[in-house]
Structure 1
Amino acid sequence: MANAEYSVLIVAYRSRETIQRCLDALAQQTLKPIQVLLLENGSPEGERLIADDVPDWVSFVASDKNLGFAAGNNKLAREVKSDWVVLLNPDAFAHPDWLERIDDAVGLYPETSFFGCAQFAADQDGILDGTGDVYHAFGLAYRSGYGKPFKRPLETGQVFGACGAAMAVRTSTWRKLGGLDEGLFCYNEDVDLAYRARLRGWGTIQLADARVDHLGYGSSGRRSEFATYYGVRNRLWVFLRNTPGWAFPMLLPFHLAVTLVLWFSAARFGHFTLFARAIWAALRKWPQIMEQRKALQAERTVSVRAILAAMTWNPLALLTRASDTRPL
């Protein structure tokens, strides 16, 4: 074991139905976190958590408005007193040895700053919820293995990034990166964090035995207008800001082509106009995005080729959500 200390951050929005199960799982951990910080993130009246809803070992914080997943976690992270920041969704239920397995990995891989966790679909036997975030060279990210049957042992290995539903980040690295980008509000902020980390030479290890059961889309819905709008807008921002050097003009035509295909596909769900609004919301911030791009690329410490090598290139992977876990 690494004998490190961990603080678990939970940003809760409309989470009354799942939070007790989440906290019960944390109470059963074989390795106890030194802090559990929970934010009630502006849920509607009648759905808000109050301090009396959580046990006294949880530090409860309330916001009158929805700060978003990014700003909510950043708010909690400012109170962290441990070596590691651990993000956990309120609809993610950790296995009893979850934190202990993360600690084992911290001892085995002392140079690593990011660890992802194996996610299984809660209340669905044998179904995966995710085995790490994949970033395709065309500028699309997906959670590998989502909804797929669990047929063989998972592997610990390198992935592009960790899913924000259950991930551990070294506190010093989190602070050097400035935490999650609050301008994204919600969706793709974990992908953006992983991308910014890679630009500065920090990779991610996906752990096979640090496990949580995850419901997913508990507060918004996978095909909701909210998820579509922020997913589309933020995906474009992540691509425009982070794609490094000469890879940007090379990959931009592919990103635009895939975006066009997804735009027309959105019409099946009645989201054609919504998709257009999201694209416009992204592009009207062009001057700010280019300034942010300039600053991010100035901090890059690794080659363009190294960044491209961490991406997935097979076009079929976008359809199959194929895993891309690579040997350590």
Structure 2
Amino acid sequence: MKVAVVILNWNGVQLLEQFLPSVVKNSPDATVFVADNASTDNSISYVNTFFPTVKIIKNDLNLGFAGGYNEALKSVDADLFALVNSDIEVTENWLKPIITTFENEPKTAIIQPKILDYKRKEYFEYAGAAGGFIDKYGYPYCRGRIFETLEKDNGQYDDTSEIFWASGACFFIRSSVYKELKGFDADFFAHQEEVDLCWRTINKGYTIMYNSASVVYHVGGATLQQGNPKKTFLNFRNSLLMLTKNLPQKEIYSILFQRMILDGIAAIQFLLKGKTNHFLAVLKAHASFYSLFTIHYNKREVFQVEKYYTVKSIVYLYFIKNVMIFKDILTFK
């Protein structure tokens, strides 16, 4: 299988200096690309000088995560795309178990490796951990991470198993499936576009897997910090857009209504905590969602899977029932 490791970059020369060496060293059987989102720093000259074997793709504008990859991957010829954040350290032989799974399981379209925290390497990392799921209302969580609670890696997820979504921090996808789905939804710009893509992949009848034999370490928040109101805006808006596109037809309006009530409660919580910028970000997210609703409703596929969630409300389990470990939520299925 022909593998392309594609790192999306925007003014990230310091991250490239720190993490590109591990990708080049540990990916001898792949072609490594840096897809540059119109950086104004010396990212491109750094790569050309120190890693002449790495291929450069130049986007004319900063198109965000979704649009940036969509544009860059038009220039990449490979069977598998490995989409890797610029703040990821990869380990020796990280590609082999992924390639083997793809070769042995033709219905598997997307695979995520084990993602651990670069700063605390014995813990899972927020963005993906050991594979993602969503609840009935579209709230994402992971094996190894529920909201802000991160589990220590004690081997409890050392397996290969089916998941609902794979993290965009390190994301393997068959190029044929990527093209079939027309890539990420560029309207998302950034955040939750990978969950949307995975949901659309499942609606097409493919499966998504997690493989713990491949391990990477992720810094997280290197591009947009967790406490940034823009991140709040994108997460709340994009989650509603994702639900609009992918929910089963018979439930779309009732679930959207309930989700918007939950968002309102979250906005009030922000306000009570003095986080006015985040409160306003939720309001702006809803206003943007209203303006985009018809466009995204018209993007719906002919078929949507009926059972897309494992638990009804991860918010209820976490904040009311105090369930913070993934294995404990399984009793509430």
Aligned counterpart for 1:63 among listed residues 45, 56, 59 = 59
Tell me by how many angstroms 1:38 deviates: 0.9
Aligned equivalent of 1:40: 36
Tell me by how many angstroms 1:172 deviates: 0.6
Matching of residues 286-325 of structure 1 within 5 Å: 286-293=293-300, 296=301, 298=302, 300=303, 303-304=305-306, 307-308=307-308, 310-315=309-314, 316=316, 319=319, 322-323=325-326
Residue 5 of structure 1 pairs with residue 2 of structure 2: yes
Q: Is the 8 A contact 2:58 2:72 kept in 1?
A: no
Aligned equivalents of 1:52 and 1:303: distance in 2? 46
Aligned equivalent of 1:24: 21
Alignment deviations for residues 167-224 of structure 1 (CA, whole Å, 9 cap, x no partner): 1111111100001110110000000001111111112011111111000110110110
Q: Is the 8 A contact 2:115 2:217 kept in 1?
A: yes
Q: For residues 303 and 122 of structure 1, do their structure 2 counterparts lie closer, same or farther at Cα, with a shift above 3 Å needed?
A: closer
Aligned equivalent of 2:132: 133
Aligned equivalent of 1:178: 182
Aligned equivalents of 2:22 and 2:61: distance in 1? 27
Alignment deviations for residues 77-126 of structure 1 (CA, whole Å, 9 cap, x no partner): 11221111111000011111111121122233232111111100003131
Q: For residues 286 and 57 of structure 1, do their structure 2 counterparts lie closer, same or farther at Cα, with a shift above 3 Å needed?
A: same
Q: Which amino acid aligns with 2:243?
A: F
**Secondary structure in 2 matching 1:81:** coil
Q: For residues 317 and 196 of structure 1, do their structure 2 counterparts lie closer, same or farther at Cα, with a shift above 3 Å needed?
A: farther
Residue 79 of structure 1 pairs with residue 86 of structure 2: no
TM-score, length-scaled by structure 1: 0.88
Q: For residues 29 and 176 of structure 1, do their structure 2 counterparts lie closer, same or farther at Cα, with a shift above 3 Å needed?
A: same
- Larger mean CA deviation between 133-142 and 216-225 belongs to 133-142
TM-score, length-scaled by structure 2: 0.86
Matching of residues 157-172 of structure 1 within 5 Å: 157-172=161-176
> Unpaired segments of 5 or more residues in structure 1?
none
Aligned equivalents of 1:281 and 1:202: distance in 2? 31
Q: Is the 8 A contact 2:35 2:58 kept in 1?
A: yes
Q: Which amino acid aligns with 1:49?
A: S
Q: Is the 8 A contact 2:245 2:297 kept in 1?
A: yes
Matching of residues 82-93 of structure 1 within 5 Å: 82-93=78-89
Aligned equivalent of 2:12: 15
Aligned equivalents of 1:322 and 1:241: distance in 2? 30
Aligned equivalent of 1:204: 208
Residue 151 of structure 1 pairs with residue 154 of structure 2: yes
Q: For residues 255 and 248 of structure 1, do their structure 2 counterparts lie closer, same or farther at Cα, with a shift above 3 Å needed?
A: same
Aligned equivalent of 1:227: 231
Tell me by how many angstroms 1:229 deviates: 1.2
Q: Is the 8 A contact 2:165 2:199 kept in 1?
A: yes
Aligned equivalent of 1:94: 90
Q: Which amino acid aligns with 1:171?
A: S
Aligned equivalent of 2:103: 107
Q: For residues 59 and 318 of structure 1, do their structure 2 counterparts lie closer, same or farther at Cα, with a shift above 3 Å needed?
A: farther
Q: Is the 8 A contact 1:126 1:149 kept in 2?
A: yes
Aligned equivalents of 2:220 and 2:142: distance in 1? 12
Aligned-residue sequence identity (percent) comes to: 20
Aligned equivalents of 2:188 and 2:284: distance in 1? 16
**Secondary structure in 2 matching 1:119:** strand
Aligned equivalent of 1:121: 117
Q: For residues 227 and 30 of structure 1, do their structure 2 counterparts lie closer, same or farther at Cα, with a shift above 3 Å needed?
A: closer
Aligned equivalents of 2:201 and 2:93: distance in 1? 27
Aligned equivalent of 1:187: 191
Q: CA RMSD in A?
A: 2.2
Tell me by how many angstroms 1:144 deviates: 4.0
Q: For residues 317 and 214 of structure 1, do their structure 2 counterparts lie closer, same or farther at Cα, with a shift above 3 Å needed?
A: farther
Residue 275 of structure 1 pairs with residue 274 of structure 2: no
Aligned equivalents of 2:109 and 2:292: distance in 1? 31
